[in-house]
Structure formats: structure tokens, C-alpha cells
């Protein structure tokens, strides 16, 4: 079933084409970051085999529930977790890059089901990316993104916190766009 594509609004206050380009630009940036991060790990040659030692060093001064998870699950299975991290980063990045390019280049000619699929893949990949960013943030023992870092030489807000926020925006906008497309299809 084809649904007529509404032209972008002519109102100077809201131009949906500019909003869509911004959304897919953010999506492309986040996807690029994941692909580059995954590639750097894969090309290092020893990321998976050294992850257990890296995690032990990173979390040695931490305590609590997440530290228990790292010590009892992640470190004993460090190589497996290393491969999962690389695969997750590369997969999330590839999905976000591919769907952003498809959306930027082919959106006007995509049918309704294809648009649902693109937005669904974006939401799923960004949700998985948010989960990975949260785990990386907690593994490093970083402070909450709204707290001032105790180290004046540290970054103001770490990349993992920014990635979580950007990916939650991608999830929210994708789900909202699916809802809007469904509503629009019912009223047409």
C-alpha cells in the first residue's frame, strides 16, 4: 500500500526536510563513531584477548553491583565479551550508517513499510548502542553526566554520556516518526 508523501511545509518556522536532515545527520555521526570504535578494536588484533585484564584494571577501585557483574561474569569471559563488544559496535554502526544514507537518498521514494523498517532499525540499533554506552560508562567508573568531574584535567562530559543522550534522541524520534506515519496513514 502506497501512501502519498506530504510535501515539506512551506512555513519558515518548521521545515521538516531540515529536521529530517538534522536527524539523519546525527544518526550518521553516531553510526560513524560506532564503526570507527569497532574497527579500531578489530584492527588492534588483541582487543578481545586483553579485555579481561583491561576490565580488571579499570574496575579495581570500584565497588557495588556493577563491579560484581564485571568480576563474576565479564572478566572470566573476557574474550567472549571482547568479540561481543566488537560485533556490537560494528553492527550498530553499520545499521545507523546504512539507514541514514538510505533515508537521506531514498526517503521520498520509499513506501510506507520501508519507512517503518528504516525507522525500526534505527530505533533498535540506537537502543542497543545506548545499552553499550551505559555499560562502557559504568565500567570506567565515570561520574554522572550532570556532575562536575573531580579531575579538572578530565573532560566535562564523557563521550559515553553524550552517546547515550544522542542515541536516546534517535530512539525517541524514530518511535515518534513511526507513530506519526501510522497516524497519517490512517487519516489519509
pLDDT in tens, 111-147: 999 999 999 999 999 999 999 999 998 888 766 666 6
What pLDDT is recorded for position 5? 52
Torsion on CA atoms 12, 172, 30, 129, rounded to nearest 10: 180
Tell me the C-alpha distance between 152 and 160, whole Å. Answer: 18
Tell me the C-alpha distance between 23 and 173, whole Å. Answer: 8
Q: Which residue's C-alpha cell is 546525527?
A: 26
Tell me the C-alpha distance between 182 and 188, whole Å. Answer: 10
pLDDT band with cut points at 50, 70 and 90 for residue 152:
low
Grid cell locating 145: 553526566
Q: Considering the entire predicted model, what is its pTM?
A: 0.84
What pLDDT is recorded for position 179? 93
Angle at 108 between CA 104 and CA 114, to 5 degrees: 85
Closest CA to 31 of 106, 118, 113, 108: 118
Whether pLDDT at 45 is above 70: yes
Out of 131-140, 150-159, 170-179, which region has the weakest mean confidence (pLDDT)?
150-159
Grid cell locating 170: 534517535
**Digit-coded pLDDT (tens) for 66-116:** 889 999 999 999 999 999 999 999 999 999 999 999 988 888 899 999 999
pLDDT band with cut points at 50, 70 and 90 for residue 151:
low
pLDDT band with cut points at 50, 70 and 90 for residue 63:
confident
Across all residues in the chain, what is the average pLDDT? 87
Amino acid at each position: 500500500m502506497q501512501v502519498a508523501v506530504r510535501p515539506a511545509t512551506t512555513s519558515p518556522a518548521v521545515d521538516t526536510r531540515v529536521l529530517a536532515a538534522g536527524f539523519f545527520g546525527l544518526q550518521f555521526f553516531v553510526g560513524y563513531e560506532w564503526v570507527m570504535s569497532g574497527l579500531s578494536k578489530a584492527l588492534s588484533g588483541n582487543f578481545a584477548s586483553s579485555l579481561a585484564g583491561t576490565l580488571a584494571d579499570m574496575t579495581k577501585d570500584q565497588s557495588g553491583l556493577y563491579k560484581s557483574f564485571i568480576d563474576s561474569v565479564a572478566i572470566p569471559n573476557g574474550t567472549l565479551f571482547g568479540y561481543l563488544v566488537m560485533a556490537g559496535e560494528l553492527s550498530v554502526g553499520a545499521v545507523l550508517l546504512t539507514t541514514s544514507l538510505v533515508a537521506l537518498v531514498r526517503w521520498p521514494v520509499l513506501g510506507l513499510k520501508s519507512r517503518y523498517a528504516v525507522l525500526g532499525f534505527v530505533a533498535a540499533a540506537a537502543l542497543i548502542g545506548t545499552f553499550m554506552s551505559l555499560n562502557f560508562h559504568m565500567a570506567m567508573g565515570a561520574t554522572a553526566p550532570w556532575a562536575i568531574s573531580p579531575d579538572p584535567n578530565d573532560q566535562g562530559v564523557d563521550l559515553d554520556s553524550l552517546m547515550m543522550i544522542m542515541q536516546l534522541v534517535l530512539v525517541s524520534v524514530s518511535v515518534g516518526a513511526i507513530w506519526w506515519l501510522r497516524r497519517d496513514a490512517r487519516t489519509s
